[in-house]
Chain A
Amino acid sequence: MSTTWGTARPPADAGVIAAGVDAGTECVKAVIVSAEGRLLGRAVVPARGYFQACVYEVLVAALDEAQRAEGELAGIGATGFAMDCVPGATLTATEAACHALGAFHHVGERMTLVNIGGRDPHLIQVDTDGRRVEARNVRRCAVGVGSFLMFTARHLDVIPTRLQELASAAERPAAVSSYCSVFSATGILERLREGSTREEIALGCMHSIAERIVELGGFEDPVYVCGGVVEYFPGVMRALETLSGKVVRPIPDPIFTGALGAALKVLQTPQEA
């Protein structure tokens, strides 16, 4: 193997480790995983500027947390919107495949997995081996969830991570369209003009995202959610429960599910002699 991050095979007495990178539209995530699938290190940075620079920053941080060196990596698995921008990647795989495997690693059973990232939510059916057997995406007009939340935060005059706090204080959601991300954004301004509270609008936004996902259909028990939106906005998960009538559970460390799956795929791939 020859990568930007190191070329050495792991020492004989050190366990094999692999890195996974999920280069998303809103955040770039990295994990370091042991051969036993133990999470040794993780890091996330906002996506800005060149993806390659973000990948470098996040991988160094994850290795630092794991207290391991670049040269020990058996490989780097890449997934996400900018997976082709991960220098030294030894394997690329689709988001659906990686999220399925990452979630299965935690849960160990077949499931309906809802991955809600910054771009387009997916509904993934995962089989008893951790493989994705079907994946559905939202309609073209309903994508851009991350940008939608950023817009909402700006007009509600809070930093994005405080949206959840606002939503938690609402008694009912304001009506926010789920048909189109641009219509939804305009709807927020209309609700503000009409006198809805910021809290109601924040909760309405969570429901707007959940509606786009519920209309995909195919919610079969058990239902789990992962992705960055769930990490920062658990209100979306609760809205999903309300609208689908299903118990919806989060995958641990939901923002890292895709990166974890990418790293596990490296470990599953036969290594070169």
Chain B
Amino acid sequence: MNHDGMAGYGEDRQAGRPAGLRSAEALRDTMGAYYRTLGEGSGGRPPVAWCSSVGPVELLRALGFAVFFPENHAAMLGAARSANRYMPLAHAQGYSQDVCSYLTSDIGAYLAGETPLSAFGLTSVPRADVLVFNTNQCRDVRDWFEWYGRRWDAPVIGVRSPRSIEQVTDGDVDAVAKQIEALIPTLEAVAGERLDGSRLALAVAAARECSDLWGACLGTAAARPAPLTFFDGTIHMGPAVVLRGMEEACAYYRTLLAELQQRVVEGVAAVPGESLRLYWDGMPVWGRLRALATTFAEFRTSVVASTYCNSWIFSDLDAGDPIRSMARASLNLFIARSEAPKEQYIERMAGQFGVDGLIFHDCRTCPNNSNTRYAMPQRLSSRLGLPSLVLDGDVNDLRCYSDEQGRTNIEGFVEQLADARAARRQAVGG
């Protein structure tokens, strides 16, 4: 069947299946080993710190904590499509359907006494001895941690970050660095040891190396065809999230980078027959990752870059100035910035990866990671001459995502891009 206007797009829905990465096995081993350490018996187990995903993890590494990232746990609930079973339990406790569905699905799963970590020998999320947040991404992480803090009578401490920052100033960095330093006495008390400056420098150096390697992996998608997609990235970013500051993460990304570079040399495409290239802004729809990856692949469209996967690249980290560089990295984060620097960032990415269009995910319960609500897609489309599509959905709450609407919108968008390209070629040729 010819799908009109799309020059063969979707003509064989099996043919465009995305190609898997061999490194997936090493990824499973790396992540599995990490999860199993969280379940080690209390005898001899280091104290457990919960940390928000872009929180001051390097400090926790230096003090010997086992670090657990509840956002990673919530993403597992989303990817397993079990989140909607748990969210009502948190709603019944007074947490609105409109607040972060990571928060509601994670708390709901705890109340239900269930966790996907059972596959790694854990019966529950690891009980925290201290919970450390950074509000550079949102207030929800703090509210989330405070629920557990009340339940376990554990200290909840963190950084209350400025947001919507135009230019990161030395004053901003000083203020956040002071807040990071203020965490140290509580963390030392819980850890039962003093912070060793050299260990902190080592943790920051390892986090920077992980960050650089992850950035290099994502950067390979600038090649044509791209060797990995955004959907691959959301899976392979696991070590950058949960093992940042550890050699295990660096080791994994060396393996992944070698495979991706080999793919580039051999011209292996993540999306066979890649014809169109897109940028994704916003959160993934975890419960529809595979479905969306397959839909785009059917249309020979590769989502080659994203804000989300790149959010774990912290190029400001500097072992020579650990705490101030941690502060600067947390402030320079995309989500903490105002509209103008965000737009400049996406503009740079669109150019670097040579995209044909922009997709913005309007994530119902994550307004802080939805850049659709103050006309950014319209401004960028107009300035860059790139069409954009806004997809309504949610990170975990699948009630907010319509498969039919999503597919119809993607199909129409890809068709529009293909038509526009054909018209341009015709004009040039004619």
- Residues of A near any B CB (own CB < 8 A): 77, 81, 89-97, 120, 129, 131-135, 137, 139-140, 143, 265, 269
Max chain B CB contacts within 10 Å: which of A91, A120, A132, A140?
A140
B405–A94 touching, CB < 8 Å: no
Choice from A89, A91, A133 contacting B416 with Cβ under 8 Å: A133
Chain B residues within 8 Å of A143, by CB: 405
For this complex, 23 residue pairs linking A to B, each with C-beta atoms less than 8 Å apart, are A77-B4, A81-B404, A81-B408, A91-B2, A91-B3, A91-B4, A92-B4, A93-B415, A94-B5, A94-B411, A95-B412, A97-B4, A97-B5, A97-B412, A97-B415, A129-B423, A132-B416, A134-B387, A135-B416, A140-B400, A143-B405, A265-B4, A269-B2
A90–B1 touching, CB < 8 Å: yes
Q: Mark B376-400, 1 if CB is under 8 A from A, else 0.
A: 0000000000010000100000001
A93–B5 touching, CB < 8 Å: yes
Interchain CA distance A132-B423 in the complex, whole Å: 11
Choice from A91, A92, A94, A139 contacting B412 with Cβ under 8 Å: A94
Determine the residue in chain A with the shortest Cβ distance to B2. Answer: A91
B420 sits at the interface (CB 8 A): yes
Choice from A89, A120, A133 contacting B1 with Cβ under 8 Å: A89
Choice from B4, B405, B416 contacting A140 with Cβ under 8 Å: B405
Choice from B2, B3, B400, B412 contacting A96 with Cβ under 8 Å: B412
Chain A residues within 8 Å of B186, by CB: none
A253 CB to closest chain B CB, in angstroms? Answer: 22
Determine the residue in chain B with the shortest Cβ distance to A261. Answer: B4
Interchain CA distance A69-B412 in the complex, whole Å: 33
Chain A residues within 8 Å of B400, by CB: 140
B105 CB to closest chain A CB, in angstroms? Answer: 20
B415–A94 touching, CB < 8 Å: yes
Q: Which of B406-423 contact A (CB under 8 A)?
A: 408-409, 411-412, 415-416, 419-420, 423
Majority SS of interface residues in chain B? helix
B412–A120 touching, CB < 8 Å: no
Chain A residues within 8 Å of B411, by CB: 94
B419–A132 touching, CB < 8 Å: yes
B402 sits at the interface (CB 8 A): yes
Determine the residue in chain B with the shortest Cβ distance to A94. Answer: B412
- Residues of B near any A CB (own CB < 8 A): 1-5, 387, 392, 400, 402, 404-405, 408-409, 411-412, 415-416, 419-420, 423
Chain B residues within 8 Å of A269, by CB: 2, 4
B373 CB to closest chain A CB, in angstroms? Answer: 11
Determine the residue in chain B with the shortest Cβ distance to A89. Answer: B1
Chain B residues within 8 Å of A133, by CB: 416, 419-420
Chain A residues within 8 Å of B412, by CB: 94-97, 135
B37 CB to closest chain A CB, in angstroms? Answer: 41
A231 CB to closest chain B CB, in angstroms? Answer: 22
Chain A residues within 8 Å of B4, by CB: 77, 91-93, 97, 265, 269
If A90-B1, A91-B4 are given as contacts, then 12 extra A-B residue pairs at C-beta distance below 8 Å, sorted by A number, are A81-B404, A90-B2, A91-B3, A93-B415, A94-B408, A129-B423, A132-B419, A133-B419, A137-B405, A137-B409, A140-B402, A269-B4
A120–B405 touching, CB < 8 Å: yes
Chain B residues within 8 Å of A92, by CB: 1, 3-4
Chain B residues within 8 Å of A94, by CB: 5, 408, 411-412, 415
Chain A residues within 8 Å of B404, by CB: 81
Interchain CA distance A129-B423 in the complex, whole Å: 10
Chain B residues within 8 Å of A93, by CB: 3-5, 415
A127 CB to closest chain B CB, in angstroms? Answer: 8
Interchain CA distance A51-B68 in the complex, whole Å: 50
B392–A140 touching, CB < 8 Å: yes
Chain B residues within 8 Å of A96, by CB: 412, 415-416
B338 CB to closest chain A CB, in angstroms? Answer: 24
A131–B408 touching, CB < 8 Å: no
Chain B residues within 8 Å of A129, by CB: 423
A77 CB to closest chain B CB, in angstroms? Answer: 8
Interchain CA distance A93-B416 in the complex, whole Å: 11
